[in-house]
Amino acid sequence: MWRIAQSHSNKKMWAFLLQEHHLTKAKAKDKNVYQIAKQHNLLYIQSDMPNSDVKGGTAIVIPLDMIETFPGESDEAARRRVENSTYRRADGRMVSVTTLVNGAPITFTSIYAPVNPTDRPAFFTAVKDRLSKTHVVGMDANCVFNPALDVSRPDGTTKPKTKMSTK
């Protein structure tokens, strides 16, 4: 949360869309993520990774100073309005919230697609109806042709174990 707050202080961001946070409901409570976000003037909205999964979960972090109010609406009422707009998939693979951006309603959506290629078509079909032209989507679609490239993390001294074709 500290890094998100620092990034926002350096360059204003409307929202941060996170995928694969690895937090179940209990783990998020144990790590006190909601309170830590609040201490950094952030609103944290999570779709929990199911207890049976080993990785997953999505979240949206909105800096409190980016939550716009309607005329006559308090900051606290605006925050509650954004929180109350939340949609979460039970599998933790999608979370959405609606807020105002320059006075217009915008829905931020974070999506983490299944890794298994045979599961992705049904997943994308299911989430399609939850999206519209007023959505801003951050997604880990897990659609790379070579999964080894997706998980490689070269540190400057090592090379990925696979080679990309230049053809």
Query: 23 lies in a domain?
Result: yes
pTM value is: 0.85
Residue 87 falls within a domain, yes or no? yes
Model confidence over 94-126: pLDDT tens digits?
999 999 999 999 999 999 999 888 999 999 999
Does residue 42 lie in a domain region?
yes
What strands, in cross-sheet order, belong to the sheet with 16-19?
16-19, 58-63, 42-47
Q: Hey, what are 22's tokens?
A: 């690895």
The DSSP bridge partners found for residue 60 are 17, 45
Domain that holds residue 51: 2-151
In the chain, the number of structural domains is: 1
Q: Is residue 167 part of a domain?
A: no
pLDDT reading at 157 higher than 70:
no
What average pLDDT is seen over the chain? 89
Residues forming beta bridges with residue 110, ordered by sequence position? 95, 138
CATH number for 127 = 3.60.10.10
Judge whether 147 lies within some domain: yes
Q: Is residue 166 situated within a structural domain? A: no
Beta strands in the chain (DSSP E): 16-19, 42-47, 58-63, 87-88, 94-101, 104-112, 135-140
